[in-house]
């Protein structure tokens, strides 16, 4: 699981990105997430339900739904993460609900309009694109009552990483923050998520780094330090392992 607060997103924030052969461990965040496969096959798990997405299949994942993205062979995708405030009328209507089935097949012209948005577009245009997709999803969806909140300790761990990913985000620091022994926390986190705490923190940091490299002209060295890495070598190694390309190659692709 990955509690992703998206510090890069403002109150009315929007994050758009394209990806190839992408996988991401179980996580959750307080934003909506729209993902559509444009080539290949991607497996998506949402609240324990597994979906196989093929070309032009899409998912709308609600805030605080546990989800995981897995590519076993090959996939290309477009991803949009957006604040509930951008679709306030829709999000308020279903505040205590979740979809029975998160998968749908949108009119691809709406996807293309969303993917073409830029920082200079008006808030009205942005909201119009998002409301159009939500309306299409709503036409084919049923909803059920939202289940109980995620376990308190795992939520504290998510929150700790969100607030400390760019500084001391070790198990020892987490232990002091939660008053649990670091060995217990390590085993507990692995049992809950299937991932080690260190791997989770590195993926969180790289996710933040990707946003910075994609949307600013900040240097790779400064990005590494801002995302909690103590050396450029460590940053480059982790970035290549997770993203499949070097930070410089990733930055040049935008």
The answer regarding whether domain 3-145 maps to CATH 2.60.120.810 reads yes
pLDDT of res. 150: 52
How open is the CA angle 99-100-106, to the nearest 5 degrees?
A: 60
What integer pLDDT is reported at residue 191 of this predicted model? Answer: 83
Query: Which residues does the chain have with pLDDT short of 50?
Result: 1-11, 149
The answer to whether 3-145 and 152-252 have equal CATH topology is no
Beta bridge mates, 52: 43
Distance in angstroms (rounded) separating the CA atoms of residues 137 and 98: 12
With beta carbons less than 8 A apart as the criterion, state whether 127 and 133 touch.
Answer: no
Q: What is the pLDDT of residues 134-191, one digit of tens each?
A: 999 999 999 998 765 456 788 788 889 888 999 999 999 999 999 999 999 999 988 8
Q: Please say whether the dihedral angle defined by the alpha carbons of residues 43, 47, 49 and 54, taken in this order, is positive or negative.
A: negative
Residue extents of the structural domains in the chain: 3-145, 152-252
Quote the pTM value: 0.70
Q: What is the pLDDT of residue 147?
A: 65
Residue 60's DSSP bridge partners are: 34
Task: Say if CB 27 and CB 52 are below 8 A apart.
Answer: no
Tell me which CATH code domain 152-252 carries: 1.10.10.60
pLDDT at 9: 44
Contact status, residue 9 vs residue 83, Cβ threshold 8 Å:
yes
């Amino acid at each position: 699981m990955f509690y992703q607060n998206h510090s890069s997103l403002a109150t009315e924030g929007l994050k758009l990105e394209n990806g190839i052969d992408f996988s991401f461990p179980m996580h959750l965040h307080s934003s909506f997430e729209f993902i559509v496969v444009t080539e290949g096959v991607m497996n998506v798990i949402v609240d324990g339900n597994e979906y196989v997405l093929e070309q032009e299949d899409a998912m709308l994942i609600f805030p605080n739904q546990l989800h995981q993205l897995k590519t076993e062979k090959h996939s290309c995708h477009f991803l949009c993460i957006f604040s509930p405030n951008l679709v306030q009328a829709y999000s308020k209507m279903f505040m205590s609900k979740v979809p029975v089935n998160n998968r749908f097949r949108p009119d691809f012209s709406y996807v293309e309009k969303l993917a073409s948005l830029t920082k200079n577009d008006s808030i009205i245009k942005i909201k119009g694109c998002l409301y159009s997709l939500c309306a299409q999803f709503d036409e084919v969806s049923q909803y059920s009552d939202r289940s109980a909140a995620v376990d308190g300790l795992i939520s504290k761990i998510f929150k700790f990483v969100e607030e400390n990913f760019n500084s001391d985000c070790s198990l020892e620091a987490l232990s002091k923050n939660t008053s649990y022994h670091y060995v217990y926390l390590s085993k507990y986190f692995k049992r809950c998520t299937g991932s080690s705490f260190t791997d989770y923190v590195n993926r969180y940091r790289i996710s933040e780094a990707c946003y910075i490299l994609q949307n600013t002209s900040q240097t790779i060295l400064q990005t590494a330090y801002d995302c909690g890495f103590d050396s450029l070598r460590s940053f480059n190694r982790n970035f290549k392992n997770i993203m499949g390309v070097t930070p410089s190659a990733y930055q040049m692709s935008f």
